[in-house]
Amino acid sequence: MDERAGAWILGRLIAAGELGEVHHGQAGDRTGAVKRLHSHAARDPALRALFTAEIALTCALPPHPHVVRGLDADRDGPRPFLVSTYVPGDDLRRRVGTAWPTAVVAGLIAGAAAGAAHLHAQGWVHGDVVPGNLLDGPEGPVLCDLGVARRVGDGGPTRGTAAYMAPEQIRGQVWTAAIDVFALGVIAWELSTGARLYHRGPSYLSMAAVIESTPPTLADPALAPLVAAMLAPAPDDRPTAVEVAAACALLA
């Protein structure tokens, strides 16, 4: 008998983690990516509340080609689930480790920055813009997984992925859109060089590298000034996501 989440027949497992799993889903002629909490996570009120917030944001956002769109959800069942746009292909992790040409890097960052700018225009900061949360779709990157997102101006406990966090994010300061621009700068640097910028193994060492080290200047003269600005230690010195998208579109 087919396993289901509401009206959705669960197919191929796309991803699995400590808290949940993502399946390809089918409901009639509709396809989607079905993200469902594991039973143990669903019984934890704090984890359930975070997932409920992710569902609310994903389903409320206006459509945008570079951000996943919420299609369906169940907040109240024993295993809550969220169905979002299914994007064929892999995520940007498959591209990390290779030094890509200027036009490829610029095209990928232009799409990712456009998605981030859409969130920012709605008053949200993604907070975890990493290669694994950028689906490598046929029309360009699609930003997914809004589980860490916060309102612009919010603070609170540190969340995100250590090697892509901005300095102010690590310090637990107020979140602004500049946090996502910093993360995009890290991704751009890594795609351009084929190396990892701040990865040091344990999270605390990666965070220390973000705070204490100065990133080497890119050898690519077309991208170097923009990426250096995106990685500026002070958030006010970074360009906006709209500016990043526009600058990269000219190089793609």
Specify whether 128 is catalytic.
yes
Rounded Cα distance between 59 and 31, Å, is: 16
Rounded Cα distance between 36 and 54, Å, is: 12
Q: Return all residues near 105 (Cβ < 8 A) that are at least 6 apart.
A: 188, 191, 192, 220, 223
Contact 83, 154 (CB under 8 A): no
Contact 34, 22 (CB under 8 A): yes
Phi–psi pair at 76, nearest 5 degrees: -105, -10
The catalytic position among 128, 145, 180, 220 is 128
Contact 155, 80 (CB under 8 A): no
Provide the annotated active-site residues. Answer: 128
